[in-house]
Structure 1
Amino acid sequence: MSWFKRAKEGITTKTEEKKETPDGLWNKCPSCKKVLHNSEQIENKYVCHHCGYHIRIGSKEYFEVLFDDNQFEELFSNLTSGDPLNFVDSKKYTDRIIETMAKTGLKDAIRAGHGKIEGQDLVIACMDFDFIGGSMGSVVGEKIARSIDYSLKNKIPFLMISKSGGARMMEAAFSLMQMAKTSAKLALLAEAKIPYVSLLTDPTTGGVTASYAMLGDINISEPGAMIGFAGPRVIKETIKKDLPKGFQSAEFVLEHGFLDFIVDRRQMKAKIASFLRMVTKK
């Protein structure tokens, strides 16, 4: 009967003494489905060490990967979205902004910072997909424009990390205007002969692809990233043809001449630093 009841007293563990596994200690690779320890992910730059899949990350992680010792000065951190159209769908746009800010800890879908990469000054603007799908609104365009102005004033190279579902519909034409605004600012950067590196990550779509994401002095991407304008389903229904295998993947885009090269995130910092040394002759 001792199989079915405790033979000794005092060996039970009280509920308050039980230790639970901390949240976020383990994750599963979206590609190969193997379990990944959080510390291993950080050490491996958020790349699965089983299959090489590049896990989606945000500005916080990209700054950790690229800036020397994660030391940087955040730029224009006080900018937040307005509601110029008084947009209401299932809820007010202003309410959605407040909820997303509370959930993500971000002010909008982009952060910018100035720091060093292998000892060289660099301004980085990085998009965050967690903030309304990384959609491009007025704040995204304004932060990019101000970051470019900062680069121009201080003669510092500029890196744009794109990760977006496209224009933010709640701002309509105000959102679409950011395409022209950022492209015009990048023309000034080119005129001043200050290097601009565009890094396209998974996914880069819509108006972002149609503007600043494809205007780099070099356009680079991570392996397997989705890059395109409209979605595959929309394109297929429009042209009434099956799409080729791997359509809109970084590898497909590279093969057709829209990227300069694809680089593993674990070598990203060294590659960008090497390019900057080459073009600035430092």
Structure 2
Amino acid sequence: MDQLFKKRNQELKEFSSWLKRHKPKPKKEIPDNIFKQCDACHESIPYFSFVENNYVCPKCGHHMKISARQRIRNLIDEGTWREYFEKETSTNQEHFPEYDQKLKKAKMTTGMNEAVICGIGKINQQRVVLCVMDSHFMMGSMGKVVGEKICKGVELAMRKKLPLIISCTSGGARMQEGIDSLMQMAKISAALKKFSNQGGLYITLLTHPTTGGVSASFAMLGDIIISEPQALIGFAGKRVIQDTIKQELPVGFQTAEFLLDKGFIDMIVERKDLKNVLSDLLSLHGGIL
């Protein structure tokens, strides 16, 4: 009997060892970055397709958000970009709770010091001053330093006698900075008035989303106003406006297409065509009005 038990135990050990050696390997999960879901049509698209298509969905044409540096790479001739005011950054002057941590996180995740990048580069060999806002940095909110950098960008265009392009995207004012944030609307608008009086050409590019104080000021002050397709453009949300005026609003009233139809913007241009369209406009106007 003992011999039988020993033999049985040995067989079980050998079988267990065999199972371990021949255990099927688990199937590898598909990495998250292989596919990306479109925000509009919700189709899963191979990530490389988005990259090759300038982050525009190949299925429905939806223009995804892109970073400021990606925008600069798309528009500016290679090797011609020079950034200005890159070290300027916000501080927590109002001692707003957790603002320091939010600034630190935004800097780490974006590699930027603020929500806008300004500089000089060439678009098809034509020099321009370009300011690009980035919604990945605290939703592109317009704090004091954002306003100061854009003002300096306007002054740079005046000093160099160059055309000015501002690529806008924002969730509005940066509440952590109180009145300092709200004052940027007036400050930038005043600088643009001086630029206009000197005959400077100012082009605005509205991207998704452009809202709040940005849309209420410099975003809509361009001599030529361009938007990417389907961009959300407006001041306040639909519910806030309807509750205020006690009226139903038209479907899609804050889309680029609706604003083009009503004459608020001049043209809608797909991302793949933006560089050439801007180049044509610069050539047509010679950098001045």
Q: TM-score, normalising length from structure 2?
A: 0.87
Residue of structure 2 in register with 1:209 after alignment? 215
Distance (Å, rounded) in 2 between the aligned partners of 1:81 and 1:255 = 38
Residue of structure 1 in register with 2:286 after alignment? 280
Match of 2:55, SS state, is: coil
- The one-letter amino acid paired with 1:181 is K
Asked if the contact 1:64–1:70 (Cα under 8 Å) also holds between the matched residues in 2, the reply is no
The one of 122, 127, 132 equivalent to 1:126 is 132
Residue of structure 1 in register with 2:82 after alignment? 73
Residue of structure 2 in register with 1:190 after alignment? 196
Residue of structure 2 in register with 1:27 after alignment? 36
Residue of structure 1 in register with 2:111 after alignment? 105
Distance (Å, rounded) in 2 between the aligned partners of 1:22 and 1:155 = 49
Distance (Å, rounded) in 2 between the aligned partners of 1:177 and 1:9 = 70
Asked if the contact 1:124–1:158 (Cα under 8 Å) also holds between the matched residues in 2, the reply is yes
Residue of structure 2 in register with 1:151 after alignment? 157
Asked if the contact 2:163–2:287 (Cα under 8 Å) also holds between the matched residues in 1, the reply is no
Asked if the contact 2:162–2:287 (Cα under 8 Å) also holds between the matched residues in 1, the reply is no
Match of 1:68, SS state, is: coil
Comparing 38-47 and 255-264, the one that deviates more? 38-47
Distance (Å, rounded) in 2 between the aligned partners of 1:49 and 1:32 = 10
Indicate whether 1:82 and 2:91 are aligned.
yes
Asked which structure has the greater CA Rg, the reply is: 2
Q: Go from structure 1 to structure 2 and tell me whether the alpha carbon gap of 1:72 and 1:9 turns closer, same or farther (over 3 Å shift).
A: same
Number of aligned residue pairs: 273
Distance (Å, rounded) in 2 between the aligned partners of 1:104 and 1:191 = 36
Structure 1 residue ranges without an equivalent (≥5): none
The alpha carbon displacement at 1:95 in A equals: 2.2
- In the TM superposition, 1:1-282 aligns within 5 A as 24-69=33-78, 71-88=80-97, 91=98, 93-280=99-286
Q: Deviating runs (4+, > 4 A) in structure 1?
A: 7-15, 18-23
The alpha carbon displacement at 1:51 in A equals: 0.9
Distance (Å, rounded) in 2 between the aligned partners of 1:99 and 1:201 = 23
Q: TM-score, normalising length from structure 1?
A: 0.89
- The one-letter amino acid paired with 2:275 is K
Comparing 36-45 and 128-137, the one that deviates more? 36-45
Comparing 79-88 and 161-170, the one that deviates more? 79-88
Match of 1:184, SS state, is: helix
The alpha carbon displacement at 1:78 in A equals: 0.1
Structure 2 residue ranges without an equivalent (≥5): 1-15
Distance (Å, rounded) in 1 between the aligned partners of 2:67 and 2:96 = 27
Asked if the contact 2:116–2:146 (Cα under 8 Å) also holds between the matched residues in 1, the reply is yes
- The one-letter amino acid paired with 2:68 is S
RMSD: 2.5
